[in-house]
């Protein structure tokens, strides 16, 4: 049960403020913002998502730079409130198409209307866009999508592959298209975030894939959908068998997930048999399935780093990135960072010839090397050489003073786990009914680190 809900801009302005129970003082938004902004004197540490100040518990989540906040005096379940905040943000996004400060300000009456139905007297009523549709009457005022930052994982599809209609991910679930008719379509996105840590000798220390099958449906009449995954998919590994023995963890399938969970609407009647998920997708965007995998997989990139002394007060860094995936696949927005010794005062860069779309930088403030590459084609290799100048004599080990190298990237139409949607079946209403189906894969770096 919460007492108040509000949304603050990055500067701390109230965009939306709703007091459900009148138990917490009115100035709470200001108190909250001051506390979060000056959490620790050095400004280094972020405020935790939950804290207590004078008997009031403040919860917040950050969504696209906005702070979604709830307050209460009651000892509630933190994960419930945090999940609720996240879900409110998602409902608003479903309605507005785009969630940002501008769209919120333009549509605040609609947002209030939503908030009235989502929460009553502090208790969550419904967060289903589907259900809310029948209670909410304001029409969204759609803001211009063209100049917007990507907002969510699905937004990455806007760049790169041309096959995807870029507007879809920013389309409101309720607003009508300018043409009057809505396009019948459904998006299924398999989004994987991979975390890999390489030791200094290139050996993989840890690797994990956190994946989600995200769905966004614009189908009218909510037809039933069947989603088939790899038949040899197996779930649960290693760990002791469950007392209830409800899952057969035997067999050595190709894709072995450690664990997964499902959206409410998913029925698993046939899942054990043929790995199909049946569901009637509600309106709006939602995760059909989240999964986690620690099975070994081939990392898409190898990182080789060399740092060595080159005369007094000088050193050389060689960074080599090799793309170990098929040449038909192109990774984009690659960024590589490497902390350099604190006493580095200058860095000059030498890129390979014909290095198009590459940028290099030395960030003086935090002594960091930054290397950006727009595109990397599978199978290729890229190298960066940097000459460093130091302000003091070296002592000790250079590799202890620098690194680790971290990397971020996005690889469309690639998934590391090999989990696949084999087919997507939509229950037909008539023979002419043939909605657009988009099944898209993408892999992103979560924490991709090579130690020195």
Point out which span in 70-78, 93-101, 164-172, 379-387 binds another protein (CB under 8 A).
Answer: 70-78
What ranges make up the beta strands (E) of 218-313? 225-229, 234-235, 256-257, 259-262, 266-267, 276-279, 284-293, 301-309
- Binding window for another protein (CB under 8 A); candidates: 135-143, 145-153, 315-323, 424-432: 135-143
Residue 322's DSSP bridge partners are: 302, 381
Instruction: Please report whether residue 203 would count as binding another protein according to CB under 8 A.
Output: no
Tell me which stretch binds another protein (CB under 8 A): 53-61, 149-157, 177-185, 433-441: 53-61
Closer of 49 and 299 to another protein (Cβ): 49
**Contact region with another protein (CB under 8 A), list: 95-103, 117-125, 373-381, 428-436:** 117-125
- Nearest distance, CB of residue 175 and another protein, angstroms: 15
438 binds another protein (CB under 8 A): no
Cα–Cα distances in angstroms (integers) from residue 42 to residues 38, 51, 341, 367, 443, in the given order: 8, 19, 22, 19, 35
Q: State in angstroms the smallest separation of the CB of 60 from another protein.
A: 8
Pair type for strands 259-262 and 225-229: unpaired
Of 41, 75, 203, 431, the one binding another protein by CB under 8 A: 75
Site string for another protein, 81-100 (x = CB under 8 A): -xxxxx--------------
b/e sequence 224-246, b meaning 16+ C-beta within 10 Å: ebbbbbbeebbbbeeeeeeeeee
Cα 111 to Cα 104: distance, rounded to the nearest angstrom = 7
Pairing of strands 314-323, 405-412: unpaired
Considering the complex, what minimum distance in angstroms separates the CB of residue 328 from another protein? 29
Q: Which of 60, 52, 50 is nearest to 84 (CA)?
A: 60
In 3D space, the residue among 333, 315, 328 whose CA is nearest the CA of residue 407 turns out to be 333
The binding track of 379-398 with respect to another protein, each residue x by CB under 8 A or -, is ----------------xx--
Pick 164 or 347: Cβ nearer another protein = 347
Six-digit token pair at 147? 């100049």
Of the two residues 20 and 330, which places its CB atom closer to another protein in the complex?
20
**For residues 29 and 164, which CB has a smaller minimum distance to another protein in the complex?**
29
**Strand 256-257 and strand 234-235: pairing?**
parallel
Segment 400-429, which members bind another protein (CB under 8 A)? Answer: 400-401, 404, 406
């Amino acid at each position: 049960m919460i007492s108040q809900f509000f949304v603050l801009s990055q500067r701390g302005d109230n965009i939306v403020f709703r007091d459900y129970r009148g138990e917490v003082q009115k100035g709470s938004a200001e108190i909250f913002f001051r506390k979060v902004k000056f959490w620790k004197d050095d400004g280094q540490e972020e405020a935790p998502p939950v804290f207590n100040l004078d008997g009031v518990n403040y919860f917040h989540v950050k969504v696209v730079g906005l702070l979604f906040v709830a307050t209460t005096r009651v000892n509630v379940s933190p994960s419930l409130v945090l999940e609720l905040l996240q879900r409110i943000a998602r409902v608003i996004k479903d309605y507005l198409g785009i969630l940002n400060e501008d769209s919120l300000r333009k549509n605040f009456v609609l947002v209030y209307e939503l908030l009235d139905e989502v929460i009553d007297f502090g208790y969550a009523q419904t967060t289903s866009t589907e259900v809310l549709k029948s209670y909410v009457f304001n029409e969204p005022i759609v803001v211009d999508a063209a100049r917007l930052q990507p907002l969510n994982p699905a937004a990455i599809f806007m760049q790169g592959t041309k096959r995807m209609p870029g507007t879809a991910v920013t389309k409101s679930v309720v607003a009508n298209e300018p043409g009057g008719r809505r396009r019948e379509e459904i998006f299924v996105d398999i989004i994987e975030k991979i975390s890999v840590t390489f030791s200094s000798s290139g050996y993989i220390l840890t690797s994990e894939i956190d994946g989600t099958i995200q769905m966004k449906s614009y189908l009218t009449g909510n037809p039933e959908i069947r989603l088939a995954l790899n038949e040899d998919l197996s779930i649960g590994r290693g760990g002791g068998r469950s007392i209830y023995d409800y899952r057969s963890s035997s067999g050595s399938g190709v894709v072995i997930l450690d664990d997964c969970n499902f959206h409410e609407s998913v029925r698993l009647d046939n899942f054990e048999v043929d790995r199909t998920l049946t569901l009637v997708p509600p309106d709006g965007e939602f995760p059909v399935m989240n999964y986690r995998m620690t099975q070994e997989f081939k990392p898409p990139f190898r990182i080789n780093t060399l740092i060595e002394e080159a005369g007094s007060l000088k050193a050389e860094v060689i960074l080599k990135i090799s793309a170990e995936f098929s040449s038909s696949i192109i990774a984009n927005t690659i960024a590589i960072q490497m902390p350099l010794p604190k006493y580095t005062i200058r860095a000059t860069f030498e890129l390979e010839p014909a290095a198009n779309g590459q940028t290099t930088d030395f960030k003086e403030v935090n002594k960091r090397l930054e290397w950006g590459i727009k595109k990397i084609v599978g199978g290729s290799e890229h190298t960066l050489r940097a000459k460093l100048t130091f302000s003091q004599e070296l002592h000790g080990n250079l590799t202890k003073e620098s690194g680790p190298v971290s990397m971020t990237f996005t690889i469309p139409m690639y998934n590391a786990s090999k989990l696949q949607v084999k087919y997507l079946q939509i229950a037909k209403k008539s023979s002419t009914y043939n909605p657009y189906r988009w099944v898209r894969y993408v892999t992103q770096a979560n924490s991709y680190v090579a130690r020195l």
